[in-house]
């Protein structure tokens, strides 16, 4: 695991000092080693977190005649099998690290090499004979890759903040990205918060030459080929075998490893399978809150006791928001999933004990674990009502108004009324939005909104919905989540939080064999009536405690609602209404004041919206303003 960076200039030399600066900005991703390759017009660098072949796995790594060089972030779980096959084919190896298989696979298979890989990765291969850079990301998008091109120059890096260390990388804001962020709390790929910086999408390769770059997608889930006629006991056995194998594959390590344990179904399942393969107790790590409504520690302890783990806990208090500036710098662009707060503290706790941590990411998106799947299915039942009647839903919702909290009966009812008038992708976008398009029209300054070519996030979600290889409504929702929310929100959260503390996160549920099996299941095996994860729960019955399997889904929530009314009552106004924030030109101050006042009074729950705005302002201070200050600073 590491951070990688590179700079190419097809028309002149590259100063390696730019790569050293980019690597230094990512030292937290790989504090054990730094390596740089430099030749005419090319410089590649990496920061290494040593996990496999600790002594000999220094990067960059070369092929036999050093004409091909690679830097990689991630892990290849099937590298031993690949290495054996490559040795049989006549290749020679200088290390025992997984990264070395990349250069030899590239020699033998070119761009198609990615089909042979099982793992999480973002890598860059420089082919000096052809003067070609070949980049790739893993199927789901666990490992990030930002890139930028201007004329004959090309840059890439694992983190935005590192990319911006080169003053030649342009940093003009992207209004469409800000609009999308306000909707879904993250900036969707392939765009970024800056016009000229992009993200390589998951399951994609990119070939960079002097003439330009070509991006190709190499993998996508197919929900149309179903396992019809297979008995449930056989499906259960297949799923158990896949989860066991996916977990076992992720235990390869020369450094201590453990697991994040939330007390939910997915993380408990991972710990269950880990305990079967480890000769000593699994080290588990959990985060809780003093607020009982958000605290899952009792269930985490239940799982820890069942599997006899070496268990560690930490409670998050309101002063946790002191990390807001650090969050903004690490994410490098606006990001506001509130669960990033406990995720950072969980990674910090974990880093004191282990270097690798397995988690349950991906279970909800493959097996239909979110409540919105049920809500969307229920909303579809309104289709029989006359269109004129369904169109009255939003008007009635506006009359009712927002509830005092997002989970209140009034708030839920309002969302259901709005859903009556929406088609399926619009409805999905509404469930995901902090600020709907209607709210953004009230929030954004007219001049700023005029720069946005329509509702960005909604357009991306609609394209993913119609592009999914699925026919059933629930399968389409799962496909959209795996295309958008999973890689752009959840996996970004986990990658940044863990790498901030030099911890590698591994996710058995994101093994592509597990995901392909889940996609092939009939929808009734994933969601039936109001029960999600149906087959997964059946497969885990007798393995994971029943109290965990049968409890309502809780999610990794944060008590922002209470914090912004009590402990941190003054924080939103102090940050969002100060002089600098008012002069950004994004937001109407009167609308921000209204949101703050309504939340303080208890008239509505705007805690998530306020958090989204706070993180936008904090990003502007810590990244945009800091970049401008650096650019304008006089030379020493």
Nearest to 3 by CA among 30, 42, 31: 30
Distance, CA of 204 to chain centre: 16
378 and 532 Cβ atoms separated by less than 8 Å: no
Angle of helix 324-331 relative to helix 340-351, nearest 10 degrees, comes to 90
* Alpha helices per DSSP H over 160-314: 160-163, 175-184, 232-249, 265-277, 297-306
Q: Are strands 504-506 and 527-528 parallel, antiparallel or unpaired?
A: unpaired
Q: Three-state DSSP class for 208?
A: strand
How many H helices and E strands in the chain? 30, 19
Q: Rounded to whole angstroms, how far apart are CA atoms 406 and 415? A: 10
Q: How many CA atoms lie within 13 A of 211 on its CB side?
A: 3
Q: Which two tokens stand for residue 325?
A: 């500036």
Q: How many CA atoms lie within 13 A of 455 on its CB side?
A: 19
DSSP per residue, 297-328: HHHHHHHHHHTT-EEEEEE--GGGGGGHHHHH
* Alpha helices per DSSP H over 96-154: 100-109
Q: Rounded to whole angstroms, how far apart are CA atoms 86 and 25? A: 35
627 and 171 Cβ atoms separated by less than 8 Å: yes
Q: Which two tokens stand for residue 328?
A: 């903004």
Is 148 a known active-site residue?
no
Q: Which two tokens stand for residue 605?
A: 């729950």
Q: Which two tokens stand for residue 405?
A: 């909290």
CB-based contacts of 473, cutoff 8 Å, min separation 6: 376, 377, 380, 424
Is the torsion defined by CA of 419, 421, 427, 429 positive or negative?
negative
Nearest to 430 by CA among 455, 405, 395: 455
280 sits in the region (left: phi over 0; alpha: psi -120 to 50; else beta) called: beta
Q: Three-state DSSP class for 64?
A: coil
Enumerate the active-site residues: 2
């Amino acid at each position: 695991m590491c951070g990688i960076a590179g700079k190419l200039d097809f028309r002149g030399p590259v100063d390696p000092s730019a790569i050293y600066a980019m690597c230094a900005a990512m030292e937290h991703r790989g504090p054990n080693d730094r390596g740089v390759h430099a030749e005419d017009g090319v410089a590649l660098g990496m920061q290494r977190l040593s996990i496999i072949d600790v002594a000999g796995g220094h990067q960059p790594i070369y092929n036999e005649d050093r004409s091909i060089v690679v830097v990689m972030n991630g892990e290849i779980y099937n590298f031993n099998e690949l290495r054996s096959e490559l040795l049989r084919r006549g290749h020679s190896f200088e290390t025992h690290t997984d990264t070395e298989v990349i250069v030899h696979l590239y020699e033998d298979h070119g761009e198609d090499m990615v089909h042979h890989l099982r793992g999480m990765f973002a890598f860059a291969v420089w082919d000096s004979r052809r003067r070609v850079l070949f980049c790739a990301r893993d199927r789901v998008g666990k490992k990030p890759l930002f890139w930028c091109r201007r004329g004959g120059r090309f840059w890439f890096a694992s983190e935005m903040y590192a990319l911006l260390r080169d003053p030649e990388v342009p940093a003009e804001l992207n209004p469409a990205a800000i609009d999308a962020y306000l909707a879904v709390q993250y900036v969707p790929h392939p765009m970024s918060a800056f016009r000229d910086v992009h993200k390589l999408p998951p399951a994609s390769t990119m070939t960079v030459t002097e003439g330009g770059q070509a991006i190709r997608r190499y993998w996508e889930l197919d929900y149309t080929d179903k396992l019809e006629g297979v008995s449930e006991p056989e499906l259960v056995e297949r799923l158990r075998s896949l989860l066991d194998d996916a977990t076992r594959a992720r235990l390869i390590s020369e450094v201590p490893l453990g697991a994040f344990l939330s007390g939910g179904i997915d993380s408990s399942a991972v710990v269950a399978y880990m305990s079967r393969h480890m000769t000593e107790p699994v080290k588990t790590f959990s985060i809780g809150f003093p607020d009982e409504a958000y605290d899952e520690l009792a269930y985490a302890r239940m799982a820890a006791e069942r599997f006899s783990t070496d268990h560690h806990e930490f409670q998050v208090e309101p002063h946790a928001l002191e990390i807001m500036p650090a969050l903004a710098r690490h994410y490098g662009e606006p990001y506001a999933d509130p669960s990033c707060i406990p995720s950072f503290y969980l990674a910090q706790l974990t880093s004191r004990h282990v270097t690798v941590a397995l988690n349950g990411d991906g279970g909800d998106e493959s097996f239909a674990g979110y409540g919105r799947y049920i809500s969307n299915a229920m909303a579809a039942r309104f289709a029989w009502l006359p269109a004129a009647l369904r169109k009255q839903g939003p008007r009635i919702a506006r009359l009712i108004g927002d509830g005092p909290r997002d989970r209140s009966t009034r708030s839920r009812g309002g969302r259901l009324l709005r859903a009556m008038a929406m088609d399926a992708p619009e409805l999905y976008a509404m469930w995901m939005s902090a600020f709907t398009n209607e709210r953004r029209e009230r929030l954004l300054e007219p001049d700023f909104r005029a720069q946005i070519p329509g509702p960005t996030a909604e357009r991306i979600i609609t394209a993913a919905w119609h592009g999914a290889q699925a026919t059933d409504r629930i399968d389409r929702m799962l496909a959209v989540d795996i295309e958008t929310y999973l890689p752009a929100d959840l996996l970004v959260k986990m990658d940044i939080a863990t790498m901030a503390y030099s911890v590698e996160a591994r996710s058995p549920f994101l093994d592509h064999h597990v995901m392909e099996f889940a996609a092939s299941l009939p929808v009734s095996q994933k969601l039936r009536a109001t029960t999600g994860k149906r087959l997964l729960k059946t497969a885990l019955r007798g393995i994971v405690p029943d109290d965990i399997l049968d409890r309502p889904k809780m999610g990794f929530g944060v008590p922002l609602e209470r914090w912004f009314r009590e402990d941190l009552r003054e924080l939103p106004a102090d940050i969002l209404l100060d002089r600098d924030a008012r002069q950004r030109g994004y937001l109407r101050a009167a609308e921000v004041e209204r949101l703050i006042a309504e939340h303080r009074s208890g008239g509505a729950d705007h805690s998530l919206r306020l958090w989204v705005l706070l993180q936008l302002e904090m990003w502007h201070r810590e990244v945009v303003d800091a970049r401008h200050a650096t650019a304008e600073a006089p030379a020493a």
